[in-house]
Amino acid sequence: MSSPQPPAIDLDELLGRCLGNLELAESAVSAFLEEFPSNYQQLDAAASRFEPTTLAAVSHRMKGAARNIGATPLGDMLASLEQLVDEAGHNEIRTLVDNIALEARRLEEALS
């Protein structure tokens, strides 16, 4: 039996990071959602070309942004990618990047 999936976003964590300021929390999430497609496109392109340096840099930046809004599962996936980039093969990297896209969709659904 598998354990239930954690929520895509921890709203309590987000509000805590924003000192309870709902307007600031909404602004942080909006900025994340606005920047994500461009960041993901860079990540996807680097994965396709198998560019470890770019993969590490972009996944690091995206990890911080995800964790700042309380999207811990997405942040954890990006941290895994960042750590594995020098050790993993192209297929493993591709799978991680594809799973990041799926988790981002889950996050968007949770926010809608």
Q: How far apart are CA 10 and CA 6, in angstroms?
A: 9
pLDDT of residue 1: 55
Look over the chain and give the mean of its residue pLDDT values, rounded to a whole number. 94
**Residue 2 reports pLDDT greater than 80:** no
pLDDT, tens digit, for every residue of 52-97?
999 999 999 999 999 999 999 999 999 999 999 988 888 999 999 9
pTM for the complete prediction?
Answer: 0.91
Which residue segments constitute the domains of the chain, with CATH numbers given?
A: 21-111 (1.20.120.160)
